[in-house]
Every structure is written in structure tokens, then in C-alpha cells.
Structure 1
Amino acid sequence: MLFASSAAIADFTGFGYELSTVENSLGSWCVLDLYAEFDDVTDNMLSCLNMDIQLNGGACFYNAGAPPFVPQSLIPLTNVPSADEAFAADSYITIGNTQQAASNGTNADPNFADNCDNVGVNGGWFNLPPDNGQGAAATGRVFMGRFSVTTEEALAGASLSVSGQVAFNSGQNIFDDMGTVFWIPAPGAIAMLGVAGLVGSRRRRG
């Protein structure tokens, strides 16, 4: 799904998301992948800032971990085996790369709070070095993070509120308020959980 910025300007057009499910021998989760959407494929996302990301109606984002060696965290871990079931739905922030990628250059701002249900007041993260290609909008979007809750929490009405700014290589920082999104957006989507595992579709606002 794509939500156009409330003050749509060329290049960054707003936050978007896709919903899916993960089910394995360890449990079942509903997953929201957050994206920055662009209308210029030459754009390069540098950072997001002044972010307000809040879980509503749930205890915590699902965070895998194996303390004390692998602590539960929204900071991406680069030493996680891709086949590890515990991390299949793990929540994490990023700019344009998967958690398992050793090249992931995502770093948290000093005001980022690694809380279990939010990123703090005006939290942010950035890509370093900025020219590593990670933030390239070649597909029209840049992956910003994965936020997961248990299927039980999703069915009970858990939702995610998102607003903040995106900085990129051309133009000014642009603010967007995506509003509140439910992991289960409509009754018909519940049936889809057991069929295709996909509970989101793409549309444009405004």
C-alpha cells in the first residue's frame, strides 16, 4: 500500500507498506514492511528523522534474540543466519537492506530509542556510507523497516502509527504522516492469512 505525502512534492511521495504473515514451528506473526516511496528512480535515501513509530494494542514488536550474545533489538543484526526460524519475522529498522546482509550500513541516531513498542521521540536512523547504494530508489521505493506482532495481537486489532521525515540526495527533507495502519485491515483479509499469507495490497492516497 502506498500513502502519498500530505504535502506531495516531487521525489519522496510518502510512506508505504506491505503486509504479510510468517508461520513456522516457533509461532505465527503478522509482518508490516515499511517503505519510503519515490517518483524519481535516481533518488538516494540518506536517512529518516523525527520519526514517530508507535505500536498500539499490542505488548511489543516481535524481536528475536538469544541473550546475552544476541540481544533483542530493533537495530539490524548482520550475523543472523537467514535460515534461523526465530528471526524469520524479526522486527528491525533499516535503509534499503535486509537484516542478514553483512553490508548493512544502517546506524541509529543518538535520539533513537530501542524500545519494544516504539522508536522514541523523534527517533531516526541513517545509512553509512551514504554512497554504498543501499538507499537507492531504483525500484521506486526504499525499505525502511520491519515491524511484526503475533497473529493473535493482529487479530485483536493491533495497529501501527507512523509519521516522520525522509532525507535524500536531492530536495529538502519531507514530512509525511501515514496515520494508523492495522496489521489486519479488513475482515476479508483474515481468510487470506491461511491462503496466500498476504494481507496487503497496493493503493495510492490523494
Structure 2
Amino acid sequence: MSSIAEQIKVLDNLPGVYQFYDVDEKLLYVGKAKKLKNRVASYFNKKKFENGKTKAMVGKVAKIKTIHLDSEIDALLLENKLIKEYQPKYNIQLKDDKTYPWICIKNELFPRIFYTRKKIKDGSAYFGPYPSVKMVKTVIEMAKKCFEIRSCNHVLTKEKIEKGEFNTAVDFYIGNCKGCCQGKVTVSSYNERIQHVKAAL
């Protein structure tokens, strides 16, 4: 097997995901990077580590694998998928907060999408867990933008919408909201968008 220095030397500075394996080819850690070579090399150029667990992990790395992707967002999504699938030892141990965030699609009229650390049995759909809040926020913002999901926190009902009880948010005027609270969106068309979000998650 090539040395770590030799493995790093042939890496490209492209967006993607990197995976660290030990001598028995057991997956230790999964990470993402905008520039793979720079990020991977940074682990092995350090004289001081943030904590003992990172130092211990680096000392066990015998093999490095990378997956090139088109963008940092693609890398973030694949990183999350691999962590959930394989549960690498050091992704878990290096996490300060052991309560991972979930994406919730609320069981309600014109469902909201938000992140939470608690799963409630109320018929809502949950996706995750994700390794970081930053990742969750990025995914949620992408979903809202791509599928035109409402960003307000109104608890909408048919009766309240018909009575005009809700004020129009700024997002409506700048085109980021289609006006669910104003009766400008049908339930069926909105639910179709929600199904697209679920399929993407």
C-alpha cells in the first residue's frame, strides 16, 4: 500500500468527499471538501490537533479514498448519505452534540419544512439524522428555493385563509413565497411539491 504522502500527492483539488480507512480497510471517517487535496493534506500537516480523538484517528489512517463531485453542495449531500449508511467511528466520536438534527415535513395544511432534534409521533415525516445543523439548514434552503415551499411559521387552516387572517410576508413580494396564506396556492399543487421534496431527501 502506498504511503499517506504518496496517496495525497496524486489527489486533485476538486470538490468531493474523502474517506479515511485503517490498515484493515475499516472506514474511520468521512468528510467533504471544496478542494480535496488541500483538505486531506491539512490533517497530516498539523503539529497540534484540536483534540486527542482527531490525533488518534489520523494515526490510524492507512488508506485514503476520494469521490469527485460537481459542487460543494453535492459533496455535502453525499457526505451525509455515507455517514448515515456506514456510521464511521470518528464521525460519531468527534461530534460534540450527540443529538443529531432531523428535517421535519410537518403533518398539516401546506406543510412547513424545518429542522428539529426531537421526533414527535404526530404523522409528520422525518428525514435524517444529519451530521450537523449547518448541513440541515443548507438542505432546507435548497428545498424551499427549488420547490417553492413556504418559509413562514403560520399554522394555516382553510377557515383562517378564507377569512384573510394572515398578513402577506415580504417573501411574497420578492417572489420567494407563492402566497399559501392568501389562498393563491391550491392544496393539491403544494402537496405535489412536497412529494418532490420527499423524493429528493
TM class, shorter-length? under 0.3
TM-score in terms of structure 2 length: 0.21
Using the size of structure 1 for normalisation, the TM-score is: 0.21
Q: Which has the higher contact order (CA 8 A, sep 6+)?
A: 1
**Larger CA Rg, structure 1 vs 2:** 2
| Greater percentage in strand | 1
